[in-house]
Copies of this chain bind each other. A is one copy, B any other.
Amino acid sequence: MRTRFHEELEQLTGMLEQMCLRDETAIATATRALLETDIEQAEHAIDLCAHVEAMGQDAEDAAVMLLALQAPVASELRRVVTALQLSANLARMGGLCAHIAGLVRRRHPHPVMPDPLRETVSRMGAAAVSMAASAAQVLATGDAEAAAALEGRDDVMDQLHRDLLNHILGPEYTGGTTTAVDLALLGRYYERFADHTVEVGRRTLFTTTGSTEPE
């Protein structure tokens, strides 16, 4: 019975890891759509996100089934509860990618972003992709250091987000109000995406080691 439980828990964790890898592809695709004003990539990102949402429902159902059939306790129960919570974080990450891709679609054939900000947005995109990859790694291996490193990378994301806002609000900005509003929302979507990866790392670490600090 316990072996069966561990097999099923491993399957569930595998589902979460797959969701996270799909989020990584989705944020990479949405960022490419944004930087290249590419409507096909934007549509593709939106499709990926719908898929992540469906995977989230499957993961939730699997977690509930595991609770019903195995009635785990103590740390095993905590791991299933965490899986439930993580499926919500991972589904939300997909939703944020869809928002980014949606902006590309709304402004098409015009670019969302003026050239001077491509560099900052491109770095935010790269940070988000790498954070999603690390979160997937934490899910796969329970690696405490990778989870802790996510928090450091979130500081980089926050700094990029501040740079973006400072640029929009600075005297040299001439991009107009629509673009400023788009960029403010865009910054918020990337920042939230990153927050969720940190949450994935932190919660996974907590259930693996019972602590939110690296050992």
- For chain A residues 37-87, which have a beta carbon within 8 Å of chain B? 60, 63-64, 67-68, 71, 73-74, 77-78, 81, 84-85
Which of B63, B64, B188 is the one whose CB lies under 8 Å from A185?
Answer: B188
**Complex interface: chain B residues within 8 A of A85 (CB):** 84, 88
The distance in angstroms between the C-alpha atoms of A153 and B49, with both chains bound, is 26
Cβ-defined contact, B178 with A181, below 8 A: no
Copies of this chain present in the complex amount to 2
User: In residues 172-202 of chain A, which contact B (Cβ within 8 Å)?
Assistant: 173, 177-178, 180-181, 184-185, 188
Is the CB–CB distance between B73 and A68 below 8 Å? yes
Q: In the docked arrangement, what's the CA distance between A97 and B74, Å?
A: 34
Q: Cβ of A181: which chain B residues have Cβ within 8 Å of it?
A: 165, 168-169, 180-181, 184
In terms of DSSP, what is the predominant structure of the interface of chain A? helix
A168 to chain B, nearest CB (A): 6
Q: Give A17 to B185 CA distance when docked, in angstroms.
A: 31
A 69-128 contacts with B by CB, 8 A: 71, 73-74, 77-78, 81, 84-85, 88
A73–B74 alpha-carbon span in the complex (Å): 17
Q: Provide a sorted-by-A list of 26 A–B residue pairs whose CB atoms are within 8 angstroms.
A: A60-B81, A64-B77, A64-B78, A64-B81, A67-B67, A67-B81, A68-B73, A68-B77, A71-B71, A81-B84, A84-B84, A84-B85, A165-B181, A168-B181, A169-B178, A169-B181, A173-B177, A177-B177, A177-B180, A180-B180, A181-B181, A181-B184, A184-B184, A184-B185, A185-B188, A188-B188
Binary flags per residue of A193-214, CB closer than 8 Å to B gives 1, else 0 = 0000000000000000000000
- Contact among B77, B168, B180 for A67, CB-based, below 8 A: B77
Q: Please, which residues of chain B bring their CB within 8 A of the CB of A185?
A: 184-185, 188
What residue of chain B has the Cβ atom nearest to residue A165's Cβ? B181
